[in-house]
Amino acid sequence: MWLGKSAVVGVGLSKFGKREDASLRELAAEAVYESFQDARDIEPGDVEAVIVASSQPERLVVQSHVAPLICEYLGVKPSKGAFRVESACSSGGVALRMADIMIRSGEASKVLVVGVEKMTEAPRSEVMTTLSIVGDKDWESIHGITAPAGFALAAQRHMLEYGTKEEHLGLVAVKNHANAELNPKAMFRRRITLNEYKDSPPIAKPLKLLDCSPICDGASCVILTDAEDARKYNDTPVVVKSITQTTIGNSSTTVDDLTTWKPLVEAASRAYSLAGISPKQVDVAEVHDCFTIAEIIEYEDLGFCGKGYGGRFVEEGQSAIGGEVAVNTSGGLKAKGHPIGATGIAQVVEITLQLRGEAGKRQVSGADIGLTHNLGGFAVNHVVGIYGRMT
């Protein structure tokens, strides 16, 4: 059993939503400052390396080289460097993974991991172009295989093969909105009903507006240190047990089964094995519900339920707070919001709060083991992380 080497000692999250009041760097600072308030006896000047996750600041806010830009705004001069990682919607997960690897290799002992995306400033047409070019522009996106279309194909196939119903998709949205109501940082702090869901406008059959995560501004931050020193900076550090990533390509044709995402199964299997746990031991999980069907498939591919039983799993309340495994207690991408680069790191912020027992009204009682799943592109790129309280 591999014991993990790095630990989370500080977390921060900006308010998610349409943030006309804050620029990209200001959003990042909001999350970073909160993380330094959360940790103890650690200052921005102590940070050795900074990894920024951001998907497309060049198009969305017309600014590149954002890692040094954010460092400058924070007054951080990292002697072990700053850089950005891009892995579309899984950028945040990859940034955390690289921070963990830097610490495990001995390269650095204090790494600041910042995720940020400001998506509401650019004109809507520019935002649509930006999102569509995550897919293969020359061979797929240009023909209409954008994200909603791709995930709609997965939903249709899951319905055909396993009898998953529109209501199952709707129940994911209803659950995640209910959780978001309890999260002060969420974009949509309101419950929705199944009827509201059913009446929402169609996007790509069978997906409706309320199946889709929103365009959103936001930032997230995690301070990761060597686990050996973690108690200096926090009374309740959260240990990174494992982070894995698997990639198979970019276009939908590389996904040879629309309803079983093999790279996710592979990444999850390795993450469980490295952490020395089984799926049934996971108490709380933040998974990539960019569209509701994704959460249903992820229940299955993460091993929370059998293949094809994802719809029933949510219907039975097994993924609700108090169920078998509480999924997306933060509200998920659906209702907390999905500022692309911030998402993977925001997932770890939520898991950290849950494992510390600091998640307020959405607290899962006795949460010992948490899992994150962050996805990039059309289910082609998956990052799975497993976290636990330091004992």
DSSP 40: S
Question: In the complex, what is the shortest distance from the CB of residue 174 to a copy of itself, in angstroms, rounded to a whole number?
Answer: 31
Active site residue 212: no
Q: Does 33 participate in binding a copy of itself (rule CB under 8 A)?
A: no
Bridge partners of 208? 202
Q: Which of helix, strand or coil describes residue 243?
A: strand
Bridge partners of 10? 223
| Helix ranges (DSSP H) in 134-238 | 147-162, 166-181, 194-199, 230-233
Q: Does 249 participate in binding a copy of itself (rule CB under 8 A)?
A: yes
CA 316, CA 327: separation in Å to the nearest integer? 13
Question: In the complex, what is the shortest distance from the CB of residue 372 to a copy of itself, in angstroms, rounded to a whole number?
Answer: 15
Question: In the complex, what is the shortest distance from the CB of residue 374 to a copy of itself, in angstroms, rounded to a whole number?
Answer: 11
Window 52-91: contact mask with a copy of itself (x via CB under 8 A)? ---xx-xx--xxxx-xxx-xx----xxxxxxxxxxxx--x
Give the DSSP H or E segment for 350. helix 340-356
Window 123-162: contact mask with a copy of itself (x via CB under 8 A)? ------xx--xxxxxx------------------------
Interacting residues of 309 by C-beta distance below 8 A, sequence separation 6+: 162, 299, 300
Span of 98-106, 213-221, 290-298, 314-322 interacting with a copy of itself by CB under 8 A: 98-106
Active site residue 89: yes
Q: Does 101 participate in binding a copy of itself (rule CB under 8 A)?
A: yes
Contacts to a copy of itself from residues 323-362, by CB under 8 A: none
**391 burial type by CB count under 10 A (0-12 exposed, 13-18 middle, 19+ buried):** exposed
Number of residues that bind a copy of itself (CB under 8 A): 61
Contact 88, 377 (CB under 8 A): yes
Tokens of 187: 């974009």
Give the DSSP H or E segment for 383. strand 381-389
- Which amino acid, 389? R
DSSP 302: T
Among 27, 351, 380, 386, the residue binding a copy of itself under the rule CB under 8 A is 380
Contacts to a copy of itself from residues 178-217, by CB under 8 A: none
- Looking at the Cβ atoms of 213 and 244, the one nearer to a copy of itself is 244
Q: Does 265 participate in binding a copy of itself (rule CB under 8 A)?
A: no
Q: Which of 89, 212, 216, 305 is catalytic?
A: 89
CA 372, CA 354: separation in Å to the nearest integer? 12
Taking the chain, what is the end-to-end CA distance rounded to the nearest angstrom? Answer: 15
Question: In the complex, what is the shortest distance from the CB of residue 379 to a copy of itself, in angstroms, rounded to a whole number?
Answer: 11
Q: Does 381 participate in binding a copy of itself (rule CB under 8 A)?
A: yes
Q: Which of 158, 168, 177, 338 is catalytic?
A: 338
Inter-CA distances, 304 with 280, 298, 332, 352, Å: 7, 8, 17, 20
Chain residues that interact with a copy of itself, rule: CB under 8 A: 23, 50, 55-56, 58-59, 62-65, 67-69, 71-72, 77-88, 91, 94, 97-98, 101-102, 104-107, 129-130, 133-138, 244-251, 254, 263, 266, 376-377, 380-381, 383
- Catalytic positions, please? 89, 338
